Amino acid sequence: MSASSVNRRRILSLWLPRLPIDRIQRFFNSAGLGKANNEPSIVVIKDNNALVIHALDEAAERLGLYIGQPLANARAMCPDLKVFDSDVVADAKTLSDIADWCDRFTPLVALDAPHGLFLDITGCAHLFGGEAALLQTLVRALARQGFAVSATIAGTSVCARTLTRQTSGIIVADGGEAAAIDRFPVSALGAGEAITTGLRRAGLKTIGDVASRSPSEITARFGARFSTLLAHALGQGDAPINPRKPLPDYIVEKRFAEPIATDTMIAMTLSRLADTLIASMEKQGKGARRLEAAFFRTDGVVRAIMVETGRPVTRSAVVDRLFRERLDALADPLDPGFGFDMVRLSASRTEIVVQEQRDLDAHVHDNDELAALIDRIAARIGGKRVVVHLPQDTHIPECAVLAAPAQHHLAAAMQAEWPARPESEPPLRPLRLFEKPEPIKVPFATVPDGPPHQFTWRRALHAVVRVEGPERIAMEWWRQDGKQLTRDYFRIEDAEGLRFWIFRDGLYENEVFDGDGEPASPNWYVHGLFA
């Protein structure tokens, strides 16, 4: 057997022709509101200001209704027709959920919108008893979930997709793509109405008729895009599918003949998978930075839990502890339903572990303990809520500090250099800086650049008794396009001993004007509070 036949690419195409109506029927079934089998139902969508059939069930199809038929014509043929409005967003969500469920067979799952999927099963079909067993398992499982499905396997995605629109259950051997689709109509290629009509007018009614012509003739008449599509359908090369999720660096999983549902078994399974995953990464000197645990329920629901770490993790005990923290803190607890029949643990981001001298360096130990603490807190409350502050090279007060996730910027924060405060001098910046300056009312102030004598903030009047300033800060005109005004900041103290950091937004008679172009009084703001 040649190497090319051993490593040939195999694509499984899924098509759910009745997805919109199946989704609605599943909703009614879950609510205990089933319908009679002979009651025809359709889903309609607006097309050119007219309602046409978007999807229909078997009962409606037996009456001769078809997709694209105007609703008025359908009602004339069947007055008792049940009609539902289309919900494209809900259909896309359902297709995405099915794709999540298909991850149990291969991590390479791509959308074939609006109602199809591609699964790259190259090299993994033997895990399920071969391609025929895999195809049968998948179709039966989706049928139990209430979906009508057509599925085929071929060497190219275009060939497999073409087959699913005409038949189901076909497995095309490597090199047999052209013969498998030879008798099908040209519309099965999905090339568009204009090209399909042009092919039929030219007397090319089947894919075999088109394939019998020379590629140059087809390209000259119908374009290079259609010529490439035809070549892929015939098995002559293929464009790669676009998986929904990037392939993780490492994957380990556990399947169960009897579904598990208890917290003890779930924790035990994760712990064993963590041991296996860490052992696999250790062989290549790597550690995990991002980990994901996926729980596959028997009813098709998939739940994924993700944790991130500040440093590469090389111990399974750390992985186990992080997931315990994450699971304990879930606002929506992990619901096993009738049980999980598969649990998968993957490392989607890994790094090479740098060996450090840890026995004699206390600083390294401190860093490890701090990083571990941050990881645990982030697993419980979310990584975006644990931040460090980094200095920025700017004199704009609200931009001088950047809040960044601690897990990814801990090293930078520990090495950051902050401006030193002169000894025996009061602080130039307030302890508490408002995210957005709050407006204050100033009845009068010393002009042109003096402080106010009193101001009102949050309905309270404050009499100014001490003032330091002004500190003039001009905005960065090369970034702001001159839209922001020059600020004069004052450190002031009122009669009650409260200290404020306020500023005047704009210069008198230079930057602030009214609607008639006359100089106007600038606005005042409080930007922070001193201790």
pLDDT digits (tens, 9 = 90+) for 23-62: 999 888 877 666 545 689 999 999 888 899 999 999 999 9
**Using one digit for the tens of pLDDT, what is the confidence trace for 444-480?**
888 788 899 999 999 999 999 999 989 998 887 776 6
- Give me the pLDDT at residue 428, please: 82
- Name beta bridge partners: 348: none
Q: Is pLDDT at 84 greater than 90 in this prediction?
A: yes
Name residues whose C-beta falls within 8 Å of residue 411's C-beta, 6 or more positions apart in sequence.
none
Q: Residue 79 belongs to what H/E stretch?
A: none
Which amino acid would we find at residue 236? Q
d(CA 503, CA 506): 9
List CB contacts of 152: < 8 A, sequence separation 6 or more: 12, 13, 135, 160, 163, 164, 167, 168, 169, 170, 171, 172
Q: What is the mean pLDDT of residues 362-374?
A: 69
Banded model confidence at residue 355, pLDDT cuts 50, 70, 90 = low
Q: Which residue has the tokens 């051993």?
A: 6
pLDDT over threshold 50, residue 253: yes
Q: How confident is the model at residue 412 (pLDDT cuts 50, 70, 90)?
A: confident
CB half-sphere exposure, 224, CA atoms < 13 A: 0
Location of structure tokens 């390209």: 219
Better pLDDT: 461 or 483: 461
Is 180 in contact with 152 (CB distance < 8 Å)?
Answer: no
pLDDT-derived band of residue 356, with 50, 70 and 90 as boundaries?
A: low
- 445 DSSP 8-state letter: B
- 75-80-85-86 Cα dihedral, nearest 10 degrees: -80
Q: Using one digit for the tens of pLDDT, what is the confidence trace for 133-164?
A: 999 999 999 999 999 999 999 999 999 999 99
Reported pTM: 0.74
Q: Could you read off the pLDDT of 288-323 as tens digits, one per residue? A: 999 999 999 988 889 999 998 888 889 999 999 999
Name the residue among 256, 94, 272 with its Cα closest to residue 102: 94
> What percent of the chain has pLDDT above 90?
55
Confidence of residue 508 (pLDDT cuts 50, 70, 90): confident
Average pLDDT, the chain: 87
What is d(CA 453, CA 448) in angstroms, rounded to the nearest whole number? Answer: 14
Identify the H or E element spanning 292.
Answer: strand 286-297
How far apart are the C-alpha atoms of 91 and 87, rounded to whole Å?
6
What pLDDT, on a 0 to 100 scale, did the predictor assign at position 29?
83
CB count in 10 Å sphere of residue 394: 13
List the structure tokens of 373: 């603490």
CA distance 316 to 136: 37
pLDDT of 7 reads: 54
Average pLDDT over residues 253-261: 92
Q: How many CB atoms lie within 10 A of CB 30?
A: 9
- Per-residue pLDDT reduced to its tens digit, 179-216: 999 999 999 998 888 999 999 998 999 999 999 999 89
